[in-house]
Amino acid sequence: MKVGIGYDVHQLVRERRLIIGGVEIPYEKGLLGHSDADVLVHAIMDSILGALGLGDIGKHFPDDDNQYKDISSLTLLERVYNIMLNSKYRIGNIDTIIIAERPRMAPYIESMKKNIAKVLNIPLSCINIKATTTEKLGFEGRGEGISAQSVCLLVPSGSKLE
């Protein structure tokens, strides 16, 4: 078994769509980034790559490469999934948290889980997504950005996980 941790943060700006977990969330601001800036999916990708000892998403999908401009992070997650399969591992489980003062994430979490589980070919029970505020503290609390953290457990392909 291998464990990886991922973290991502993006600034909230006007005139960008807010996409988290592959879900477009109605909000007056969106996340600034080279791709769709999906902090949750980026954190998940980093946790998988970290567990494999293969660096981070910046190494695999550099933000100065135009082929990744505005790309869906779910597309990138699928590429990370294939890297994981080629390394002979599979997801045991993923636990994540989105840190944002606004907007409320609760109405969108089930859709996020479905999007991610579909790409990673795992049951919904293998992914957990939580959301919290910072009680108006820090950049998230001031509404300047959103961050996400992820921990994943990878198990060798073919092994049983009880």
Determine if residue 134 is labeled as part of a ligand binding site: yes
Determine if residue 64 is labeled as part of a ligand binding site: yes
β partners of residue 131: 98
Alpha helices by DSSP H, 55-141:
57-60, 73-86, 109-120, 138-141
CA 115 – CA 124 distance, rounded (Å):
10
Determine if residue 104 is labeled as part of a ligand binding site: yes
Determine if residue 60 is labeled as part of a ligand binding site: no
Determine if residue 24 is labeled as part of a ligand binding site: no
Determine if residue 75 is labeled as part of a ligand binding site: no
Determine if residue 61 is labeled as part of a ligand binding site: yes
Determine if residue 43 is labeled as part of a ligand binding site: no
Determine if residue 95 is labeled as part of a ligand binding site: no
Determine if residue 96 is labeled as part of a ligand binding site: no
Determine if residue 112 is labeled as part of a ligand binding site: no
β partners of residue 89: 156
CA 123 – CA 138 distance, rounded (Å):
35
Determine if residue 51 is labeled as part of a ligand binding site: no
Determine if residue 156 is labeled as part of a ligand binding site: no
Determine if residue 90 is labeled as part of a ligand binding site: no
Determine if residue 70 is labeled as part of a ligand binding site: no
Question: What H or E segment, with its residue span, contains residue 91?
Answer: strand 89-99
Q: Which residues are part of a known binding site?
A: 8-10, 34-35, 42, 56-58, 61-65, 100-106, 132-135, 139, 142
Q: Which residues are part of a known binding site for a divalent metal cation?
A: 8, 10, 42
